[in-house]
Amino acid sequence: MINQKNVQLGTVRSCIRELFEYGKKRKAEMGEENVFDFSIGNPNVPTPPEVNAAIKEIVDTYNPVFLHGYTSAQGDFETRKVLADYTNARFGTKLNADCFYITCGAAASLTIVLNALLNEGDEVITFAPFFPEYKVFTEHAGGKFIPVKCEEDTFHIDFSRLESAITAHTKGVIINSPNNPSGVVYTEDEIIKLAKLLEKYSKKYGNPIYLIADEPYRELVYDKDTKVPYVMSYYKHSLVCYSYSKSLSLPGERIGYVGVNNEMPDFSEVYAAVCGAGRALGFVCAPNLFQQLIKKVYNLTSDISIYKRNRDKLYSALTEYGFKVVKPDGAFYMFVKSPEKSAVDFCERAKKYELLIVPGDDFGGEGYVRISYCVAPEMLERSLPAFKKLAESYR
Amino acid sequence: MINQKNVQLGTVRSCIRELFEYGKKRKAEMGEENVFDFSIGNPNVPTPPEVNAAIKEIVDTYNPVFLHGYTSAQGDFETRKVLADYTNARFGTKLNADCFYITCGAAASLTIVLNALLNEGDEVITFAPFFPEYKVFTEHAGGKFIPVKCEEDTFHIDFSRLESAITAHTKGVIINSPNNPSGVVYTEDEIIKLAKLLEKYSKKYGNPIYLIADEPYRELVYDKDTKVPYVMSYYKHSLVCYSYSKSLSLPGERIGYVGVNNEMPDFSEVYAAVCGAGRALGFVCAPNLFQQLIKKVYNLTSDISIYKRNRDKLYSALTEYGFKVVKPDGAFYMFVKSPEKSAVDFCERAKKYELLIVPGDDFGGEGYVRISYCVAPEMLERSLPAFKKLAESYR
């Protein structure tokens, strides 16, 4: 018998993938323009032109043996130095190059951090609704995955539920702000409260509880007064998992990093464990061409204003049609209350109007659906009458 | 307590890395041209010019949203189709696109395959000397690593030792031909004998023993009559872990694949487990730009003739100086018998002549040293007097 857990993971497609494949088939039947696919988080805004220009410049000017050669396992030193300087200037931290470990994207960052921290049976808390792969990554690292429901209707942290979920076995808490799938951004007060609570229970149980900030959506916030607090400024035992997938529209290229807070007393051990986990998982180093690229474009983003316009248009249309939606502060997802009890049934009905949206069940958000609005604005525009009819079908 | 095994893996540098860092320091002190660094397998021959030209063409002509977007987890369909067609034409297999799973290089291929196949406590055999990370990857996947000594002085498979190492718990056998560190290529007879033995014990214990061929050096063979048998043609329960790191001199870009033999009766389950393991380990997909690149350059290699000349020159010099060496058929390593009992002491003495070579101990090859000859030919030329003096110091 081979590993049945991995057979299972490879056999049961996530409902997002399932719908994505259905969408491909349906578009072939109905015409691309007649299917409204809001199923996946594949950015539809192109990478900024500087990215492709920089790739060509790098290929033209670098020594190919250096360019395509191994970097050290933690990543090119100069790139890590640039990341440290940028982070310090932006957030007032005192990080250095050796606080960073460059990875093949956010998923890699998370599996590396979880494998670095966890021993068999350790518990990892996250807030529901959550990105479904957190469960897969935690369990593969030997951990128990403990989802804690957010406040109903706001999707902010429910601290009393959190407090009752913490045990002597709690090794880490994953936060994801801006959040997939709710779009919520945690406020500074919320992060301060969270930090205090984690300090209290770290002391109580005599073991640090690590705060893991999964931040692929950090740059995707749409209102001037929305700030995404940087966890390292509030909590010593914190790690940041970053990715350029969404900010630079490079999801297929797999480039991101882990940042380890050098204020944590056990910094050296944690950083070593990050290196060890990356090694054991088979990462070797992140793609060097993209490591060199990041050095040049680390402070750019794709044209985020397109997502903002999508958010505003979709939010006002859906609320006008009578749907119940928390207005997202960031990321490019909207978490909409299903007008009937079963979100799965709601999504099935939406298909009749050629609307592809994902039930919240896999995200730990039963009774809600996720709409990914990282889509072409024209498609979103064309889809609105379908959303209207869908709403009317429930009257 | 965080994960101590990963702390350990991240703290204890491999002796190769250790020597590599020593070399960097020493070069700064002594001048680059006065240190002869044979420590690591970083190809010194540049990628063929077609590679950089293709990268620029892809960047110029592809839709950036597609180019930098996610592929399916198993990789771009067209690239997998190209790999299947090419493999079938070359080796007479009947593979299709869905037998391939594109990865972030050979290390990723191996961790994915091992995690797909192993349950806690399963045993994985390999032949010593071996690439040291096999042990790390096997143990992280929950397996027990069982090295089996090769025939003394030839480094070919010792079948009687192999036979006594197989148990009811043997889940897989990793072979690596051309071999790192010995340079040996297994003959067709050897692979046939291995296949028969594995069939016999698979039947005896009622469980397939999977043959895992780690093939980053497949294209690096130097003599016309040296053939590297393709395991899928000889054994049903076989998987191939391939990488373009060495053939195209792209080690830092992390691109390779897993091929699963569709003649194995449990093919669908094994392929699903490969997909599941890739997901659980956090790979998502291999870098898309390099997936698109492979479609265009899959049948090219760097200028291998440089390695052949290096091999010939180094082999004849070392044997002339009195060293005992098995002439490598492929890869770019020479495994040389230490003139004193301790290879570690021998390597320390070599340092006095500014020669950086690696003791075989970590490879399960005590009493030998590994010399990586993927170096600039001029450096190799300049190093020969130092090797001569080193030999003379033992007279």
Inform me whether the C-beta atom of residue A3 falls under 8 Å from chain B C-beta atoms.
yes
pLDDT of residue A127: 98
CA distance A173 to A195: 11
Give residue B180's pLDDT. Answer: 97
Average pLDDT, integer, range B349-362: 96
Question: What is the tens place of the pLDDT at every residue in B160-213?
Answer: 999 999 999 999 999 999 999 999 999 999 999 999 999 999 999 999 999 999
Residues 6+ apart with CB under 8 A from B215: B106, B176, B177, B228, B240, B241, B242, B243
What residue spans of A121-209 are helical by DSSP H? Answer: 133-140, 159-165, 188-205
The pLDDT of residue B332 = 96
Q: Determine, yes or no, domain membership for A57.
A: no
Confidence band for B18, pLDDT divided at 50, 70 and 90? confident
In a domain, A55, yes or no: no
Task: Give the pLDDT mean for B301-316.
Answer: 97
What is the structure's pLDDT at B41?
Answer: 84
Residue B247, amino acid? S
Q: What is the mean pLDDT of residues B342-361?
A: 96
Domain encompassing residue A147: 69-297
Q: What are phi and psi of A253, to 5 degrees?
A: -95, -15
Assess whether A182 and A274 both reside in one domain.
Answer: yes
Please check whether residue A175 touches B, CB under 8 A.
no
pLDDT(B128) > 90: yes
Residue A61 lies in a domain: no
Kindly state whether residues B185 and B95 are assigned to the same domain. Answer: yes
Nearest to A68 among B107, B249, B291 (CB): B249
Is residue A56 a part of any domain in this protein? no
pLDDT over 90 at B14, yes or no: no
Pair A217, A132 in one domain = yes
Amino acid type, B339: P
| Percent of chain B residues past pLDDT 70, beyond the cut | 100
Predicted confidence pLDDT, tens digits, chain A (395 residues): 999 999 999 998 778 878 888 998 999 999 989 999 999 888 989 999 999 999 999 999 999 999 999 999 999 999 999 999 999 999 999 999 999 999 999 999 999 999 999 999 999 999 999 999 999 999 999 999 999 999 988 999 999 999 999 999 999 999 999 999 999 999 999 999 999 999 999 999 999 999 999 999 999 999 999 999 999 999 999 999 999 999 999 999 999 999 999 999 999 999 999 999 999 999 999 999 999 999 999 999 999 999 999 999 999 999 999 999 999 999 999 999 999 999 999 999 999 999 999 999 999 999 999 999 999 999 999 999 999 999 999 98
The amino acid at residue B177 is S
User: How many CB atoms are closer than 10 A to CB A305?
Assistant: 10
* Residue partners of B49: CB distance under 8 A and separation at least 6: none
Domain boundary among B262, B297, B332: B297
Q: Which of the listed residues B252, B282, B297 is the one where a domain comes to its end?
A: B297
The reply to whether B132 and B189 lie within a common domain is yes
Q: Are residues B163 and B284 in the same domain?
A: yes
Mutate to test the interface with A, among B1, B4, B5, B6 (most CBs of A within 10 A): B6
Give B333→chain A minimum CA distance, Å: 18
Q: Are residues A130 and A208 in the same domain?
A: yes
Average pLDDT, chain B: 96
- A1 to chain B, any CB pair closer than 8 A? The answer is yes
Beta-carbon separation of B108 and A284 below 8 A: yes
Mutation for B interface: A18, A120, A281, most B CBs within 10 A: A281
**Composition of chain B by helix, strand, coil, percent to 5:** 45, 15, 40
Asked whether residue A242 falls in the same domain as residue A342, the answer is: no
Residues B114 and B250 in one domain: yes
Are residue A147 and residue A289 in the same domain, yes or no? yes
Spatial separation of the C-alpha atoms in residues A280 and B111, rounded to whole Å: 8
Residues 82-111 of B with CB under 8 A from A: 104-105, 107-111
Contact A326, A182 (CB under 8 A): yes
Of A251, A268, A297, at which residue does a domain stop?
Answer: A297
- Bridge-based pairing state of the strands B333-337 and B368-372: antiparallel
> Is residue A374 a part of any domain in this protein?
yes
B positions 216-255 inside 8 Å of A (CB): 249-254
pLDDT tens digit string along B209-249?
A: 999 999 999 999 999 999 999 999 999 999 999 999 999 99
Do A76 and A27 lie in one domain? The reply is no
Pair (B334, B270) in one structural domain: no
Measured in angstroms, the CA of B190 and the nearest CA of chain A are apart by: 27
The closest of B84, B62, B60 to B298, measured between CA atoms, is B84
Distance (Å) from the C-alpha of residue A133 to the closest C-alpha of chain B?
8
Query: Between B2, B250, B284, which is nearest A269 by CB?
Result: B2
Burial B285-309 (b: 16+ CB within 10 A, else e): bbbbbbbbbbbbbbebbbebebbbe
Residue with tokens 């620029």: B56
Q: Which one-letter amino acid corresponds to residue A286?
A: A
Taking the CA of residue B236 and the nearest CA in chain A, the distance in Å comes to 16
- Here the CATH number for the domain that contains residue A354 is 3.90.1150.10
Give the one of B9, B253, B270 whose C-beta lies nearest to A289's C-beta.
B253
Distances (CA, A) of B150 to A334, B156, B158, B160, B183: 60, 6, 5, 10, 13
pLDDT in tens, B82-106: 999 999 999 999 999 999 999 999 9
* pLDDT (0 to 100) of residue B83: 98
What CA–CA distance (Å, rounded) separates B332 from B372? Answer: 6
- Bridge partners of residue A370, in order along the sequence: A335, A358
Identify which of B65, B251, B269 has the shortest CB distance to residue A44.
Answer: B65
Which tokens sit at B43?
């190809």
Q: Do B6 and A276 touch (CB under 8 A)?
A: yes
Q: Are the Cβ atoms of B137 and A110 closer than 8 angstroms?
A: no
Q: Look at residue A60 and tell me if it is in a domain.
A: no
Q: Considering its fold, how many domains does chain B have in total?
A: 2
Question: In the block, which residue shows the tokens 């040049």?
Answer: A296
Per-residue pLDDT of B249-265, as tens digits, reads 999 999 999 999 999 99
Rounded to whole angstroms, how far apart are CA atoms B362 and A274? 22
CB contact under 8 A, B282 and A107: yes
Do A285 and A272 fall within a single domain? yes
pTM attached to this predicted model: 0.96
User: Phi, psi (5° rounding) for residue A250?
Assistant: -125, 40
CATH code, domain carrying A155:
3.40.640.10
